[in-house]
Structure formats: structure tokens, C-alpha cells
A and B are shown apart, each in its own frame.
Chain A
């Protein structure tokens, strides 16, 4: 494989991954906040029952 092909591959990898990660960051930020609340709630429940 020549150098131009490698350059093309790494350019596409970088742009593609950064794009996907940007979307993932937004989704995980929102979904993760909800999960944090659920986690604290579930850990609190056994204590409340006792």
C-alpha cells in the first residue's frame, strides 16, 4: 500500500472517529446523568427499608 493510501485511511479514521465520539459524548452526558440518579436511588433503597 502506498503512502497516499495510508494518509487517506488515517484522515478518514480521524474524522470518522471524532464525529462519532462527538455524538456519543452528548448522548452519554444526558443518559449518564439519568443513570447516576437511578444508581443512587437503588443504593439508597435497601438502607431506607432497613
Chain B
């Protein structure tokens, strides 16, 4: 990591007071709402009593995490305005899902608390347990970078000396804070802190955009990107970083992020009515655009800002700049353009975003492991109290894991691509299970089981596996193409989705579900 102390920051004592004050308020809320978490339905599903406006706030609070802001800003910094297509696709797909109720409405009617619980009701116990294991494994791996990335943001914005143990120290502090109030409050505290985060961050995002445009100049931003990147900075079709297969992959990701990814679906399952659910999703489509679009724009503005002082920011502008440097571009930029006070508010909002994503993810994976793996494997004899204890214990264990992962996994690379492919281990199998399970009567348990297993092929998309594999294929077939152009994470992801879908259909038709008399049965959950 390059020394940020040389670059300076506007972060001052007043900003520290704002940040610490905000974190203390979050902790008090966690303690206050503990009185409402007397059952698993309240702890995990907020009593299924969330109204539409709070639903939008909490959906945004969960999905607009600090890690999202960081990886999106990185994408904007490296890909320019061409990265905007990801945001527009995400918003459009969410709007379609909201208007049609595709997946979310029939799933809510089943009254399940978790995705694997749906697997149990629609398929059978082995599918539920395997689904729970795959989901939790992919999810925990997926959030492995969160703590590190969030801490890098704080260290860069505050100007803490990165030559010391600033990042691990910040990681530890943040993790303790998140663990305390997630284990105490459950979904109710998550939802209420999501709401506060929405308020703080929404206005912080908008004001920062205004200040960035005011400082750099609206037309100047576009002109500078055009001068530096040419058409590749605007067209995702011609961009080397994106291209048609990447755009197709983003269409899949758009559906996954709003209708397949369990933390988003967990919000759908807390809504008090189908009408509220549709309103939540339709209006949240704006948030699904914003959560990418604004950070992309900040990353682009950082690029423009750095090009105005190329000597000072030379390491950001080098042709072979590394991913862990581009990740620092946005926090460096905002620490320069935001005045003290406002920088504290935006940083507090970002830390809140970091915490809200963490608590939602921790709650989601721990509840899946408790409800859908441990409870079934122990004969479903655990009572509510034991399940609550187990969920809280797993939250702490996951917290310890991501701390170690953040400290020892140093090869970050492109964060968005890493997250897409780790998430794919789960969702490539889950897409056919959810859609087929809700809309296709012939979908069978054997097909579901095989589909979940074949989804694990997505792990090939991780660079430590992908790069040697691509090299080997090139040697075998005597291909002379540039490394990284033949096999890409996007192509692996699309291929895995096709594979799981075909496996699901074929195995369901070959091995249908049968009743006790051996007769073929076709299921559809009561609606």
C-alpha cells in the first residue's frame, strides 16, 4: 500500500467526533431493541411487519454497503463511464421483478424464513442441507474481503499511517462493533440501523456528487475521460474490460442481486404484504442503480482529479497500476474534495454502510447454518433458545474467519469480479432451483441436488484456478491468444448457469419425485 500520509486528507478532529458519536448511537440502538428479539421470527424476520418505506430503506441499506461503494468506484476508475451499463441493467431488472413479482411474490407466499427452508418445502431434506452448506460456504467466502476493503477505506480517508498496523487495528475495532450489536439485536436492530444509514448516506452521496461536479466541472469530467480512454471509456461493447459476454453476465447478475441473493430476499420475506413487497422492489430499483452509479461516478471523478496533478498522483495513473492501488483512488479523492465536518458525516455513513452489510450477511449465513444445516442434522430437536444461541455463536465464528481472511489474503485483484464469481458458487445452482421450484411442477429433488452440485463448477472462475487452466488449454490446443481473453470469469459464470439449468431439467425428467407407492408426483407449493 502506498503511503497516504504524503497525499493529505481533510479529515480532522471534528470528523472523528462525528464518526465515533455515530457508532455509539448504533450500539445503543442494538442494545435498545434487544427487548424485541424474543423469538426466531422476530430475530430473523422482524416479525414480518416491515412497511414499504422502511423496506426500501433497509433494502438500500443492505445493498449499498461500503464494499459495494469501494468495488464500484474501482470499476469506474478503471472502466470509465462504460461501467454505467452494470448499474442500468441492475436497476432495470429490479424494476421488472418488482412490477411482475417474479420469484419474490410466490416465494413470500410460502412463508419461509430462508432459501434452504424453501428447498425443504419444495424438494427434500438432503437438498435443504446441501443448499444450506453451499449457500453459507459461498456467502462466507464472498464476504471474505469486506472487512479488509472497509478498513482500507477508513485508513485512507482518515489519513492514518498505513506503515503501522492501521488496517488490522481498524478491522478488529469494526468487527467487534458489528458482532456486538448483530448478536444482540438481530433483524430488528439491523433494519433500524439500515434506516438511519439510508438517511445519512443518501444525503451524503448526493452532496458529494454535487461537490465533485462543482469542483471538477460537468463537461470537463466527460472531456477528460474521452481524452484519456477514448470510446472505451463510454461504450461497454467496445471496451476491453467489458464486451458482450460481460454484459450478458451482468444481466444474470442483475436478476441474482435482487431476486436470488439471500440477503436481498431476506428483506422480501420480512415485508408485511405482497403490495408492500412490490412497492419495495419497484422503488428500490432506483437504489439498485444508485448503489453502483454514484460510486462509479466517484471513481471516474477520482481519475479526472488525479490527471489534473499527474506528478502528485503518479502511482494511480501508471499503466500497470495494481488493483489494491486503484481501490484507494476513491477514498483519496473524497478525502481531498469534502470539507471537514461533511467528510465526517460521509465517513460515518460509509462505516454505517459497512456495518449494515456485515450484520445482514452475518445474520443471513449464521441463520442458514443454524436453521438449515445444524438443526436438521441434529434431528430438529433444538428449541428457539438453543437456535438463537447457535446463531449468535456462528456469527462470532464467521467474524473470526473473515478477520483472518482479511489479514492473510493479500491478492485482492478486481473485487467486483471476485465477488461475482464467489457468489456464483451459490447462485448458479440456486437460479434453476428457485425458478423451477416455484414455476415448474416436474422439478424434482434429484434434479435440484444435481444442480446445486454442478453450480460448484463456478469456482473455476477464481483467478488462482482460471489462469493456470487457461494457460493449459492454450498449450493443449496450440492457441496463440493473449492471457485473460479466452477464459474469463464472465464466460465461466455464464457457462455454469447453462450447465446447472440443463442438469436440473434433464435430471428432473430422468429421476422424478415419487410418492410411497412409487407413483410420479408433481409438486407446487400452496399459494
Contacts and interface: CB of A to CB of B under 8 A. Distances in A.
A21 B290 contact: yes
Contacts of B60: 28
22 contacts: A1-B235, A1-B237, A3-B230, A6-B82, A10-B81, A13-B84, A13-B87, A17-B290, A18-B290, A20-B286, A21-B202, A24-B56, A29-B57, A29-B199, A31-B53, A32-B195, A34-B53, A35-B51, A39-B46, A39-B51, A47-B35, A47-B38
Interface residues of B, number: 49
Contacts of B51: 31, 34-35, 38-39
A42 B49 contact: yes
Interface string A5-44: 0110011011001101110110111111111101110111
A44 B42 CA distance: 11
B52 interface: yes
A28 to B, nearest CB: 5
B289 interface: yes
Contacts of B226: 3, 7
Interface of A: 1, 3, 6-7, 10-11, 13-14, 17-18, 20-22, 24-25, 27-36, 38-40, 42-44, 47
Contacts of B49: 38-39, 42-43
Contacts of B192: 36
A39 B283 contact: no
A23 to B, nearest CB: 9
B52 A35 contact: yes
A40 B36 contact: yes
A1 B234 CA distance: 11
Given A25-B202, A25-B206, A13 B52 contact: no
A35 B50 contact: yes
B297 interface: yes
B341 interface: no
Interface in B71-110: 81-82, 84, 87-88, 91
Contacts of B46: 39, 43
Contacts of A47: 35-36, 38
Given A24-B283, A47-B35, A47-B36, 10 more contacts: A6-B81, A7-B81, A10-B234, A14-B297, A21-B205, A21-B289, A28-B57, A29-B198, A34-B53, A39-B188
A9 B35 CA distance: 50
A35 B230 CA distance: 48
A43 B189 CA distance: 12
B52 A31 contact: yes
A1 B237 CA distance: 10
Contacts of B191: 39
B356 to A, nearest CB: 14
Point out which of B49, B191, B283, B297 has the most chain A C-beta atoms below 10 A from its C-beta: B49
Contacts of A43: 36, 42, 46-47, 49, 188
Top 7 nearest A-B pairs by Cβ distance?
Answer: A31-B53, A35-B54, A35-B51, A6-B234, A25-B202, A42-B49, A32-B57
B363 interface: no
A44 B57 contact: no
A46 to B, nearest CB: 8
B222 interface: yes
Contacts of B202: 21, 25, 28-29
Contact of B53 (A7, A32, A40): A32
Contact of B293 (A7, A17, A24, A31): A17
A47 B33 CA distance: 13
B206 A18 contact: yes
Given A6-B235, A25-B202, A39 B84 contact: no
B88 A13 contact: yes
B288 to A, nearest CB: 10
A33 B88 CA distance: 29
B234 A3 contact: yes
Interface string B290-314: 1001100100000000000000000
